[in-house]
Amino acid sequence: MPDWKPRLQRVFDANGHACDPVELDVLEELSTHAAAEYDALRARGSDAGEAERRVDDLVDMWVRDAAALRRRPKRALAIPPPSAGGVPFAGLMQDLRYGVRLLRRQPGFAAVAILTMALGIGATTMLFSVAYGVLLKPLPWPDADRLVRVTETRQGRTGRVPGTVSNGAFLAWRDHASTIEDVGGWLTQTATLQALPGAGDPVRVSIIPTTPGLFPILKARPLVGRLFRDGEGARGQPSLVILSYGLWQERFGGRPEIVGHLVQIDDKPYTIVGVMPREFAFPDRETRAWTAWSVSPVKAENGAQVGVIFRAIARLRAGATPAQAAAEATSRARSGPDMALVARALFGAAGPIDISAVPELQAMTADIRPAILVLLAAVGLLLVTATANVASLQLARATTRRREMAVRAAIGAGQPRIVRQLLIENAIVGLCGGAAGLALAAGLQRLLPSLLPAGFPRLDGVAIDMRVLSFALAVSVVASVACGLLPAWHTRRVNLVETLSEDGVAPIGGAMRSPMARTRGLIMAGQVAIACVLLVGAALLTRSFVSLIRADRGYDPVNVLTARLPLPPGYPAERRNQLLDTLVERLRAVSGVTHAAYSTSVPFTPGGVFVAFTMRSPRNPEVAVDVQATQRLVSPDYFAAMRLRLVAGRTLTDADTTTTTPAIVVNRTFARQYLGDRPVGVRIPQHGPRAGGLTLADGHADWEVVGVVDDMRQDSVEAALQPEIFASLKQIDPSRARNFDPVLVVRTAADPTAYVSTLRSLVHDQAPALALDSVMTMEDRVMTSLAKPRLYAVVLAWFGVFALLIAGVGLFGVLSFSVAQRTREIGVRSALGAQARDIVALVLGQALWIVGVGVALGLAAALAGVRLLSAFLYGISPHDGLTFAAVPIVIAAVAAVACLVPARRAAKVDPLTALRTG
Amino acid sequence: MATTLLERELKRGSTEVLILALLDERQRHGYEISQLIEERSNGTITFHTASLYPTLYRLEDKGLIDGRWIERAGQRRRRYYRLTRAGRKALATQRSTWDTFFLALDRVAGIRHA
């Protein structure tokens, strides 16, 4: 079979048709045709010569019309399109570079957008890290989900120290438990520790007495030495201590041979048996050592009832639920020994026992969980408003960039390409904002320990880890996509011809007519609504906090210095009384000190003694009344130093001594509950069963109520008032009074902090071996107790202010932009006779619409949402009228400021210029 | 001369519509197209293979058809043509134009198309 291609080429060449690459293509096509024709002829019976001749004729015909056998070369494109088709991310770098260039060209926009995002993302990330670290992160113990905190209540009343169980219930359950592997208990206290007798200063540290079972319950292992063994810690057993890693390193140089050595704790020798690993912290990071301790039986050896309350934790058996454990504990405790009066002293009620078992993580964070959730919701709103603000800014840019988008579309950019460009620009803003936000969160986190109230649980679990990093990244990406979607959605229908031919200003009456302007208006209204919600919350919390500060506590905390003087156990009572009297006397001599006193406790410090006894009712001598009260020993000047208000009778004086009738002062609640209308002069028998009671000098004399003072808030003003008894230390038999760490109370004429060094040096002069502890003004104690409400109010206030600021800036932006876009309209209106105030009204009307809708939405949302806050409010209704009226006024004021410049600019529009340039 | 011109125009127009119609069914190569035209017109339309390729190239230039080289197993490499979207539209228009033309001819001169 002949090869037609060279033959064709020869013929074409011979006829003067030089073959270029395009024609070679034609040549090939014709030769395939020729070959097909030849094959067909042969198949129809022609011989080879005949077939070749017929095909040659065909070729001759082709050559005759060779000029028509020309395929025009494809036109090369003037601008080669980006090779987007093949590689999915081609052009991405180009978009990125372009995005960065655009942002650098508009540094103002970039700064505002990135800062807003940084604020929103930073605050959110910070709170997420706290929420995750505190509420969600698993506890560091193996199988921690099986750990439950055990709490006892009697008729709904918790122990004097909330979250505790009594020894009766604990022992009854521990010895016959089937739902749990074991239950352990611990006490919370501080003690003076001295490393080696005579070596180094004694330090006051948190040392926790624990039952030996506690460590196995946590599945903890010692780093050095051993743990406590069963039975250790019981009366008569040697005193043992386990050190924390930190204490071991600091005081003992991390030497393993320290095991077996002695340390002095409260002047008593303890043998070191072990050291816990660095990561072991129980119940908190402050704990420096654990001593072996055992829970006392309810009946002491001498037959007296002993009541102890302490904290307890249990490990559930596999498959058991907290509810089953609680039910079992309740039934065991109810069948245990009756603690009667002891229970009354510890719980304020002697009714049936209820034991609850709550997962440990939940129990640790129960106090702060609602607050963290509320703050998370608030920060979520802040993030939304920050994102909305950036979206609104982008939307404004999109309006002015319509031409750019139209040009891009005209030269061949498809819709996906334009959307991608916008999303990339937003991603740059979002990621920059996210990075800045993360830095902000990391910075805030360093400050956390100083920002958060003392005793905030699980703070060491809060960290910027991978989870928090991925959270920040996810938030940044989602927020930036959210910002970019609106502008991208709006550019999806850019009309090329219209956009390119329009003159770049809004049509007449375009305030809210264009879809983009309407969207921006709605976004703005949403931002105003969010600011409104946050401000209402912040205002309520702030006013509640102010009510807490101003609340009548029954004493005057201003200009009072207080300090505890820890005494080692076995410190002679006579020496103690003598030391205290000398100190008080010396203090009174200091100029500027108006009163000096001491007490077993002041508000917010432990130290009261719970007493319970039975007495005949003064109203009806036939009736026996069960009395339970807190008893404090004070010096006579205590009432004046604390400025307690005398309601009836007199306060204690220096004349009340061991030789006179034992006098007591009771508080109003005690008088009302137990003493009737004429409390002064009532005699209270001091004999009879008492728990932790006092013995007077004269074992037979009755107490006489000599006066009634107004109720004094010992802790939170929200806590229920307790009956209280004040007795003079001077009337107590020194040899039979319990040990206690006295608190010195000094009232001064001016700033009490100026007297701290005087106080310290006086103590040092009188007792060089003793050191003051917990030196604080009474006001500081009050403020410390309010640290949580203050924190919540401050955080929410910051969120509210930021949201308001963002809304204000946003409103300014929307209005300025609208004025700029409507310059020609304003010009036309002026030309037609509109006055400056009409033009201003035009701008204000737009603002009013936005703010009005926003405030209405915000107030409605706030009304619905405040019930979340009601648990945090004191002395103020969640629907407080003043707050709900003030917030819109504040928003209106900020809105007015935001309107000012755009309105002035609008009023100054010169119709001639506007129309000429428009 | 006038007749020749009309004939030429008619032939040229009809060749185009024939090719488009054939490609409407499926993609085909040049030789196949020439065979089909001869077959289907039963010789009534004198079609010369010489004019096929110029017509194909013209249609391709107009964007009505699209040609590409395809190599099938056991066959030699061939250039196949298929209808583009524009070509399909043009075919529809041409068909209705021809219909109108024939209808008019029928009314005036009683000429019918097959």
Domain count, chain A: 5
Residues A348 and A486 in one domain: no
Q: How confident is the model at residue A265 (pLDDT cuts 50, 70, 90)?
A: confident
**CB A722, CB A630: distance < 8 Å:** yes
Mean predicted confidence (pLDDT) in A849-872:
90
pLDDT at A272 over 90: yes
Task: Show contacts of A297-305: CB within 8 Å, 24+ apart.
Answer: A297/A167, A297/A171, A298/A167, A298/A168, A298/A171, A298/A336, A298/A337, A298/A339, A298/A342, A299/A337, A305/A339, A305/A340, A305/A341, A305/A342, A305/A689, A305/A691
Token digits for A80?
Answer: 């080669």
- Work out the minimum CA distance from A74 to partner chain B, whole angstroms: 9
Assess if residue A78 is contained within a domain: no
Residues A574 and A675 in one domain: yes
Give the domain ranges of chain B. Answer: 2-109
Residues A170 and A281 in one domain: yes
pLDDT of residue A916: 66
- Work out the minimum CA distance from B52 to partner chain A, whole angstroms: 9
Amino acid at A180: I
Edge to edge, the sheet with strand B28-29 lists: B28-29, B78-83, B65-70
Residues A159 and A175 in one domain: yes
Q: Which residues from B are below 8 Å from A56, CB to CB?
A: none
Q: How confident is the model at residue A464 (pLDDT cuts 50, 70, 90)?
A: confident
Whole-complex ipTM: 0.83
Nearest residue of B to residue A72, measured between CA atoms: B61
Strands (E), A276-316: 287-292, 309-316
pLDDT in tens, A411-425: 767 777 777 888 888
pLDDT at A806 over 70: yes
Residues A430 and A545 in one domain: no
Q: How confident is the model at residue A84 (pLDDT cuts 50, 70, 90)?
A: very low
CB contact under 8 A, A71 and B79: no
Mean predicted confidence (pLDDT) in B24-32:
88
A72: nearest CB among B31, B53, B61: B61
Token digits for A331?
Answer: 């039934």
pLDDT at A694 over 90: no
Assess if residue A517 is contained within a domain: no
Helix or strand or coil: residue A187?
coil
Quickly count helices (H) and strands (E) in chain B.
4, 3
Residues A241 and A378 in one domain: no
The burial of A311, by beta-carbon neighbours within 10 Å (0-12 exposed, 13-18 middle, 19 or more buried), is given as buried
Assess if residue A80 is contained within a domain: no
pLDDT of residue A181: 92
Q: How confident is the model at residue A613 (pLDDT cuts 50, 70, 90)?
A: confident
**CB A169, CB A352: distance < 8 Å:** no
Q: Which one is predicted more confidently, A329 or B48?
A: A329
Q: How confident is the model at residue A693 (pLDDT cuts 50, 70, 90)?
A: very low
How far is residue A192's CA from residue A267's CA, in Å, rounded to a whole number?
Answer: 8
Q: How confident is the model at residue A519 (pLDDT cuts 50, 70, 90)?
A: confident
Assess if residue A560 is contained within a domain: no
pLDDT of residue A29: 87
CB contact under 8 A, B48 and A61: yes
pLDDT of residue A503: 47
Strands (E), A29-71: none
Token digits for A487?
Answer: 């502008």
pLDDT in tens, A105-126: 888 888 888 888 888 888 888 8
pLDDT at A479 over 90: no
Q: How confident is the model at residue A313 (pLDDT cuts 50, 70, 90)?
A: very high
Single out the residue in A365, A400, A423 at which a domain terminates.
Answer: A365
Residue range(s) defining the domain that contains residue A136: 93-141+368-502
Picking from B3, B12, B25, the residue whose alpha carbon sits closest to that of residue B54 is B12
**CB A290, CB A591: distance < 8 Å:** no
Angle between helices A415-451 and A466-491 (to 10 degrees): 140
- Using left for φ > 0, alpha for ψ between -120 and 50, and beta otherwise, residue A259 falls in beta
pLDDT of residue A686: 62
Q: Which residues from A are below 8 Å from B57, CB to CB?
A: 26, 68-72
Mean predicted confidence (pLDDT) in A455-465:
78
Residues A703 and A752 in one domain: yes
Best A12, A27, A65, A71 residue to mutate vs chain B (most B CBs within 10 Å): A71
CA distances from A162 to A151, A157, A897, A906 (A): 8, 9, 51, 64
Assess if residue A512 is contained within a domain: no
pLDDT of residue A73: 64
Q: Which one is predicted more confidently, A358 or A912?
A: A358
**CB A538, CB A891: distance < 8 Å:** no
Assess if residue A84 is contained within a domain: no
Assess if residue A525 is contained within a domain: no
Mean predicted confidence (pLDDT) in A664-668:
93
Assess if residue A507 is contained within a domain: no
CB contact under 8 A, A69 and B53: yes
pTM of this structure: 0.68
Mean predicted confidence (pLDDT) in A783-805:
88
Residues A326 and A212 in one domain: yes
Picking from A63, A54, A9, A57, the residue whose alpha carbon sits closest to that of residue A31 is A9
CB contact under 8 A, A32 and B29: yes
pLDDT of residue B41: 66
B50: nearest CB among A28, A32, A61: A61
What does DSSP say about strands A560-564 and A773-777: parallel, antiparallel, or unpaired?
Answer: antiparallel
* Diameter over CA atoms, chain B: 54
How far is residue A868's CA from residue A862's CA, in Å, rounded to a whole number?
Answer: 10
Fold of B2-109: Arc Repressor Mutant, subunit A (1.10.10)
How far is residue A702's CA from residue A696's CA, in Å, rounded to a whole number?
Answer: 9
CB contact under 8 A, B53 and A64: no
**CB A731, CB A696: distance < 8 Å:** yes
Residues A137 and A159 in one domain: no
pLDDT of residue A700: 53
Helix or strand or coil: residue A207?
strand
pLDDT in tens, A716-730: 888 888 889 998 888
Residues A586 and A734 in one domain: yes
Highest mean pLDDT among A321-335, A508-522, A809-823: A321-335
CB contact under 8 A, B54 and A65: yes
CB contact under 8 A, A29 and B57: no
Single out the residue in A771, A796, A828 at which a domain terminates.
Answer: A771
Helix or strand or coil: residue B100?
helix
Token digits for B93?
Answer: 């228009």
Residues A588 and A714 in one domain: yes
pLDDT in tens, A207-231: 899 999 999 999 999 999 999 998 8
Q: What is the distance, to the nearest Å, from the Cα of residue A25 to the centroid of all Cα atoms in its chain? A: 75
